[in-house]
Chains A and B, each alone.
Chain A
Amino acid sequence: MSSPASITPSSDQMRQMGWSVLATLAFFLIWELACMGLHVSNLVLPRPSEVAQVLVAKFPLLLPHATQTLYTTLVGFVAGVAGGIVIGALVGCSKLAYDVAYPLLVGFSCIPKVAVVPIFVVWFGSGTVPAILTSAVISVFPVVVNVATGLASTEPELEDVFKVLGASKWDLLMNVGLPRTLPYLFASMKIAVTLSFVGTVLSETVAANKGIGNVMMIASGNFDVPLVFAGLFLLAIMGVVLYALFALVEMRLTGWSQRKTEWAMA
């Protein structure tokens, strides 16, 4: 059971990472070759190398839009997660609240988020505010559901042990509920951060004059398909980086719940 403590990834993990990089490269290579071989017009599907060229050439122009998108996404995400934790804690703290609120939550989360953008525009005008709100609304549900589930699924026997000790609801929440919910919370945050981008871009394509979504909208209007793809690439890169960031934090804080990984043994 006692393996030597190490921070460096194991050879297994290195191999896995190597394969991941290889698979990604292969994906772009096949794309590139397929476009060349089948003579696909760059109005339909530009080659990755073309997209990369555009990305580099227009980077100064794209940068303020990217920061705008990143900014609205993060603000919306933080608001969504904060709201999600509060609502999730309220829903998850009692069986009754959980049963009563669950159908309502499912109903809300089923609403296509595109449909709420026009409402936000009516309420707050176009621009940053509806983008932030859309990003928040879209990221709130996975957090609510996961936090509530994490809290509601505490083992009754564990609760009994605490109750017999005379623990208050607050003691139980701080010592059992919250730590137990952390893995659920981080799992949902990884989903929520990618959804947040969807929300922001959605809103930007409908009602904004700044942001990657707006750039892609205008570019597609001008049939500048390589630029559209450059925007897509930027979104993918930002999404992956944020996802990885949360995965890293998750591993640091909730390694106990992932006992099979080498990291947890350290």
Chain B
Amino acid sequence: MLYFVVRRLLIIIPTALLVVSVTWLLIRLAPGNFYISEKKLPKSVEENIRRKYGLDKPMSEQYLIMIKNVLRGDFGDSLKYQGQSVNEIIRRHLPYSATIGILAYLLALFVGLTAGILASLKQNSLLDYVSMAVAMLGISVPNFVLGPILVIIFALGLYLVPPARWGGIENLILPVVTLSAIYAAYIARLTRAGMLEVLRSDFIRTARAKGLDEKTILLKHALRGGIIPVVSFTGPALANLLAGTVVVEKIFAIPGLGNVFIQAVLNRDEPLVLGIVAFLSILIMLFNLLVDISYGFLDPRIRYS
């Protein structure tokens, strides 16, 4: 187990470096740069800028400097936002995305698990059909549709909550609900499928034959196996949510990482893009590792060697 974890952790470093290198290359291949604008700069001004940011050096040298900085965990300063370091920007904006993301996922887990378990217990009942229909709706309605509809009803119609911006708890309601919808729907469907499979398996029948009561069977035996699909979904989903979701952050004007990332790409803000990409890739790999480890606890059949 320990060997497995250490090996996986070690793989993260070269993988992240590879991701960063490819990203660097892609930015360099993309036309345009951070200072280009409608107004053409006099040659002298452009040269001043290139010299200041080391763009006058050969490409290979620039690449090595970049890699050296990345290995030290220092992505340098943003090109667009003068005097602000990339690490500082990520640190500053992560909490907004993380707050919304974690709350949305908790809500999604609560709604999704409840709906999924109920649906699986009463398979082919009205409850099953309705909750699965709603889940299908949740998956098919994109959040850029759901968000504005919620805004029209609750913010501009009933004036119950603010339509956008960061602020108090009331500001969190709409973005969290919007963001959680699709995850809740997925979780509901995954739980239902997982539970149905487990409930039909031999060990559940054995448990029933032992005379265990339904509650214990469900919570102690069936649920552990039944939510494995949900757990494997959770890793990447949480990583995505923590990193910020562009659409929801845009609709509700939340100063999260997703918003910053998109803007950085549009600005060709190289250090910032590299920093966020590296951060995201490491985050996703770590979450996947956590998911893999948790399998062992949930399902005794899975063992690492």
Q: Are A and B associated in one complex?
A: no
Which residues of A approach B to under 8 Å, CB–CB?
Answer: none
Which residues of B approach A to under 8 Å, CB–CB?
Answer: none
